[in-house]
Structure 1
């Protein structure tokens, strides 16, 4: 007895409601039909037969052999993926922190050298500028207080 496919198409999976393949198969000379839904996402294979109850109890029909799919999609180890991503983030953060530390050390060294040069610079510039530029300005205080 050869089963004949009458119709093919797309339907919703009864388990996960994803788009799935369906077929109507003619199951024999009595005109019975079998409805099969094969979900590629969750792997559910649902079928129902439409024939009289007396025949349904007496006849057992094997399900169609569907070609293997690549789906359901292989599971992803999210913990390992998160660990790998975290390791990359930590490595980049360390390199950025080292760059910042090196830049801060260079800035401190430049600041120290410029502080050391400051008195010499003042001595060289002092004769050419007015004295009030280099001295501290004395503010005259009046009798008012507060701001």
Structure 2
């Protein structure tokens, strides 16, 4: 395997680790309850719903967790550490686009007087920069391993 291919494989392994860490952070948020939602910047409305025992925050957070796990498995598939998954190339492009859109949209929200779901500008800034780095790992993997996908 060439060094160029090694770089792409490493990028996908990093993307998978970021996915699984993100999923774990979301699970820990659920178990931490209202305090976890506040700490993670989910907004006061989500924290209050969690404090009242409503299921909405749990379902939303579990949904995000599942998506992140699927993205991690696709990244491992692209790194050829698990079997080739269906529509792998298409899925990886879509994942990269979704993460990029989330990052750019969040950066826009961080710059103004926008209050979406009660999240602070600091939440939007930090989470968007994380998403931007996360998208970059997928993009590096895609551009260096495109022919092998």
TM-score by length of 2: 0.24
Structure number having the greater helix percentage: 2
Structure with the higher fraction of residues in strand conformation: 1
Larger Rg over CA atoms: 1
Higher relative CO (Cα under 8 Å, sequence separation at least 6) belongs to: 2
